[in-house]
Amino acid sequence: MEAYRRFKFDSFEDLKKELSRLGIELPLAEDTGMLQQPLRIGKNSVSNRLVIHPMEGCDGDSRGRPTELTHRRYRRFATGGAGLLWFEATAVVEQGRANPRQLLITGDTIKELAALFQETLDAAVGKNGTGGKPYTVVQLTHSGRHSRPVSKAQPIIAAVNPYLGDEKQAAGNIITDAQLEALEDKYVEAAVMAAQIGFNAVDIKSCHGYLISELLSAHTRQGPYGGSFENRTRFLLNIVDKVYKKLSGKIDIAVRMNGYDGMPYPYGWGVSREDHRRVDLSEPIRLVEQLQQKGVRLINVSAGSPYYNPHVGRPYDSGPYIPRENQLYAIERMLNIARKIQAAVPQTAIVATGLSWLREFAAAVAAGGVAGGWFQLAGFGRQSFAYPDFAQDIINTGKMQRQKCCIACGKCTELMRLDGVTGCVIRDAEVYRPIYKKLKAGKPSMVGKEVADHV
Ligand SMILES: Cc1cc2nc3c(=O)[nH]c(=O)nc-3n(C[C@H](O)[C@H](O)[C@H](O)COP(=O)(O)O)c2cc1C
Ligand code: SF4
């Protein structure tokens, strides 16, 4: 396996040369016009193929309501011109928040979330906006084993996993079947509120090792929510059925799902049972086929766990430690997963993940992916923190500007891990650099440390 290399491509030709040297196929189209084509999702239309991924700013208040920093982030996203705006992880219950500032959707927060939503739409159509309303999705989450609703971790675990820490401690925090059944209804309540607010869709978040993602791989769990494929997918599919039953026609359902966990069987989803470094999409494809049959028309495909193998799903470049894998392999893997899933469910719009590391060349990969049928929508995560108007630039000029791009330095993730509010330390430095400097002061350096990527 070719080792990690820093990003150093001055031209499209440089990137193509490196891809050919590594034997990697990425979709490439220098003409990005394709990205301007509208797309229908259910009854609604998305004005272009560019998506802002769900990106938490950890800047809610202690009750889970947005603050001025949250509003600022969404104003920036809204005026940036992306056709689809996927609102960040928003917990359906207090105990399932990933941090004490994660947004929460309950009767206590609905008024403030509605105000955030309205201001976002107004910004999109207003003076600095593009004049068009984006298609909006809100991501409903329960953080499962990564729950930390107060400053201390309070894990709620689907299945014991020796790769993720102390088995004895985990055994005391396993969520019961009755609790899971009751939690299904909390997702429905949250979906009802999302529909009242006016979102086009709710995402039943099933990625990155959080509760539903962990259930998908809960081979070792006993009872109705573990073991067989039917049992492991039961919680997600029950929620989908219940939301459709309650809200038929009033809101779309989307799913952000891992296609590949990169964690050994029997603890990983989308992995070969013999070798977890190999992708095996038989179960993810079976699941998306069922979701499509039920009416789901939007799936955002991601990979990995931010806590276990962060760079499987979030290629990293220039920070203080060295990932094991060459990032272009990680990008190729993610885009190929999107491609195979898109081929399996052609009526569903697949959103691809993993483009930010490519800087300005992401526009050509996004266009190539859409033109070649690899995926129908191209998602941008960190890029939307660094360069919220990337979509407008692509639409107006056909390309992105290098000097505005995310450099995949990982500082926004570091801010999260330091328990700070987060955003781009490099390109939105006026707000986030002072916060970063303050939180970093006195902390040990990570220079020279290798991250355990397990791939
Ligand atoms: C600071 C930060 C916050 C994130 N918040 C979320 C989130 O709320 N929900 C989610 O599904 N993914 C979240 N992600 C993951 C991104 O949506 C995205 O999958 C990842 O950054 C890879 O895409 P990129 O290469 O375009 O950044 C977050 C990532 C970062 C760095
Ligand atoms: S801090 Fe900014 S440049 Fe660095 S990874 Fe995050 S968004 Fe990209």
CA distances from 196 to 88, 110, 190, 226, 434 (A): 18, 9, 10, 33, 38
215 in Cβ contact with 158 (< 8 Å): yes
pLDDT digits (tens, 9 = 90+) for 346-363: 999 999 999 999 999 999
What crossing angle do the helices spanning 177-197 and 110-125 adopt, rounded to 10°?
A: 40
230 by Cβ neighbours in 10 Å (0-12 / 13-18 / 19+) ranks as: exposed
Report how far ligand 2's centroid is from the alpha carbon of 423 (Å): 8
Report how far ligand 2's centroid is from the alpha carbon of 256 (Å): 22
CA-nearest residue, atom 6 of ligand 2? 412
Q: How far apart are CA 212 and CA 147, in angstroms?
A: 13
Name residues of the chain where pLDDT drops below 50.
447-448, 450, 452, 454
51 in Cβ contact with 379 (< 8 Å): yes
In order, the DSSP letters of 321-384 are SB-SB-HHHHHHHHHHHHHHHHHH-TTSEEEE---GGGGGGHHHHHHHHHHTTS-SEEEESHHH
Which strand (E) or helix (H) includes residue 412? helix 411-417
Report how far ligand 2's centroid is from the alpha carbon of 361 (Å): 16
β-strand partners of 303: 260
User: pLDDT at position 446, please?
Assistant: 57
Report how far ligand 2's centroid is from the alpha carbon of 286 (Å): 35
Relative to the alpha carbon of 426, which ligand is closest? 2
Alpha-helical segments (H) within 80-176: 110-125, 167-171
Residues in the ligand 2 pocket, defined by CB under 6 Å: 382, 385-386, 406-412, 424-427
Best of 26, 55, 300 to mutate for ligand 1, by most ligand atoms within 8 A of CB?
Answer: 55
Report how far ligand 2's centroid is from the alpha carbon of 409 (Å): 5
Report how far ligand 1's centroid is from the alpha carbon of 383 (Å): 10
β-strand partners of 201: 137, 252
Q: How far apart are CA 237 and CA 251, in angstroms?
A: 16
Report how far ligand 2's centroid is from the alpha carbon of 447 (Å): 18
Ligand 1 binding pocket includes 381 (Cβ within 6 Å):
yes
CA-nearest residue, atom 2 of ligand 2? 424
Report how far ligand 1's centroid is from the alpha carbon of 55 (Å): 5
Relative to the alpha carbon of 98, which ligand is closest? 1
β-bridge pairing 84-91 and 103-104: parallel
pLDDT digits (tens, 9 = 90+) for 25-36: 999 999 999 999
User: pLDDT at position 444, please?
Assistant: 65
Ligand 1 binding pocket includes 213 (Cβ within 6 Å):
no
Domains of the chain and any CATH numbers? 12-440 (3.20.20.70)
User: pLDDT at position 454, please?
Assistant: 47
CA-nearest residue, atom 26 of ligand 1? 381
Best of 298, 314, 334, 432 to mutate for ligand 1, by most ligand atoms within 8 A of CB?
Answer: 314
Q: How many residues does the chain have?
A: 455
User: pLDDT at position 368, please?
Assistant: 98
Query: Residue 357 CA: which ligand 1 atom is closest?
Result: 25
CA-nearest residue, atom 3 of ligand 2? 406
Report how far ligand 2's centroid is from the alpha carbon of 178 (Å): 41
293 by Cβ neighbours in 10 Å (0-12 / 13-18 / 19+) ranks as: exposed
Exposure on the CB side of residue 77, measured as CA atoms within 13 A = 38
Residue found by looking up tokens 């309501």 in the block: 65
CA-nearest residue, atom 16 of ligand 1? 381
Report how far ligand 2's centroid is from the alpha carbon of 275 (Å): 32
Report how far ligand 2's centroid is from the alpha carbon of 52 (Å): 15
Relative to the alpha carbon of 403, which ligand is closest? 2
User: pLDDT at position 151, please?
Assistant: 87
**Sign of the dihedral defined by the CA atoms of residues 228, 232, 233, 239, in that order:** positive
User: pLDDT at position 172, please?
Assistant: 83
> What 3-state class would DSSP assign to 84?
strand
Query: Residue 316 CA: which ligand 2 atom is closest?
Result: 5
Query: Residue 386 CA: which ligand 2 atom is closest?
Result: 7
pLDDT digits (tens, 9 = 90+) for 238-283: 999 999 999 988 999 999 999 999 999 999 999 999 999 999 999 9
User: pLDDT at position 448, please?
Assistant: 46
Q: How far apart are CA 65 and CA 286, in angstroms?
A: 37
